[in-house]
């Protein structure tokens, strides 16, 4: 009798711990790929926003509704297409400098993070 009750309680405890540790977000991770933006009209970077759990892995069945705004350097970069709900493609306009992208939560309107993009000189060895 007590053995079955102990097993049932252990299973319930394991499910609750998995819910707390795996399915609950503890932070937001900003991924930028590739990390370098060149001063070329063909240079693009993908900025994506993901929720992460306490182990640092992406939270399953979760998405972040984010709005992306070019705060500084609108003459240096532009969005390629419409920004998605959790990602955006940023394209260089062919000029060197620094641009700041603000990432805001759609639900609360609060700023999640600011991302500084450095537009480096175009490498003459690269054929764009």
Query: How many residues are present in the chain?
Result: 128
Higher pLDDT, 10 or 40: 10
Is the confidence at residue 109, as pLDDT, over 80? yes
Pairing mode, strands 37-38 and 111-120: parallel
Percent of the chain with pLDDT over 70: 95
What rounded mean pLDDT belongs to the chain?
Answer: 86
The tokens describing 100, both together, are 């700041």
- State the pLDDT at residue 125: 45
Is the confidence at residue 86, as pLDDT, over 90? no
Distances (CA, A) of 3 to 6, 7, 8, 65: 5, 6, 9, 46
Three-state DSSP at 87 gives strand
Mean pLDDT for 82-106 is 87
Cα separation, 41 vs 60, in Å, equals 36
Listed in sequence order, the DSSP H helices in the chain are 2-22
- State the pLDDT at residue 85: 78
At 48, is the pLDDT very low, low, confident or very high (cuts 50, 70, 90)? very high
Say if CB 101 and CB 117 are below 8 A apart.
yes
Mean pLDDT for 68-84 is 86
The tokens describing 36, both together, are 């370098």
Is the confidence at residue 11, as pLDDT, over 90? yes
Distances (CA, A) of 25 to 3, 85, 93: 34, 18, 36
Question: Domains of the chain by range and CATH?
Answer: 25-120 (2.60.40.10)
């Amino acid at each position: 009798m007590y053995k079955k009750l102990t097993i049932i309680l252990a299973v319930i405890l394991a499910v609750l711990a998995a819910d707390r540790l795996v399915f609950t977000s503890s932070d937001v991770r900003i991924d930028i790929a590739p990390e370098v933006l060149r001063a070329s009209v063909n240079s693009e970077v993908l900025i994506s926003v993901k929720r992460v759990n306490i182990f640092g892995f992406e939270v399953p069945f979760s998405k972040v509704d984010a709005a992306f705004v070019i705060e500084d350097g609108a003459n240096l970069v532009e969005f390629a297409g419409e920004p998605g709900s959790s990602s955006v493609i940023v394209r260089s306009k062919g000029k060197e400098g620094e641009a700041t992208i603000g990432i805001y939560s759609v639900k609360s309107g609060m700023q999640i993070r600011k991302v500084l993009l450095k537009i480096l000189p175009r490498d003459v060895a690269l054929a764009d």
